[in-house]
Amino acid sequence: MGRRILALAGLVAVLPLGGCKSPYVNTTIQNDTGAAVTLVEVDYPSASFGRDSLAAGAAYPYRFKIIGSGATKVSWTDAQHKQHTGNGPDLHEGQHGFLTITLTPTSAQWAAQLTPTD
Q: Residue 3 has what pLDDT? A: 55
Coil, strand, or helix at residue 104?
coil
Report whether pLDDT(13) > 90.
Answer: no
Q: Considering only CA atoms, which of 41, 86, 82 is closest in space to residue 60?
A: 41
Q: Considering only CA atoms, which of 23, 98, 22 is closest in space to residue 62?
A: 98
Q: Residue 23 has what pLDDT? A: 84
Q: Residue 21 has what pLDDT? A: 59
Which one has a higher pLDDT value, 116 or 52? 52
Q: Could you give the CA distance from residue 89 to residue 95 in angstroms, rounded to a whole number? A: 12
Q: Residue 108 has what pLDDT? A: 98
Q: Is the dihedral of CA 66, 68, 71, 75 positive or negative?
A: negative
Q: Residue 16 has what pLDDT? A: 47
Q: Could you give the CA distance from residue 61 to residue 31 in angstroms, rounded to a whole number? A: 12
Secondary structure letter of residue 81 according to DSSP: S
Q: What is the pLDDT of residues 27-50, one digit of tens each?
A: 999 999 999 999 999 999 999 999
Question: pTM above 0.85?
Answer: no
* Contact status, residue 23 vs residue 66, Cβ threshold 8 Å: yes
Q: Stretch 46-72: mean pLDDT, rounded?
A: 96
Q: Stretch 1-30: mean pLDDT, rounded?
A: 62
Q: Could you give the CA distance from residue 107 to residue 11 in angstroms, rounded to a whole number? A: 53
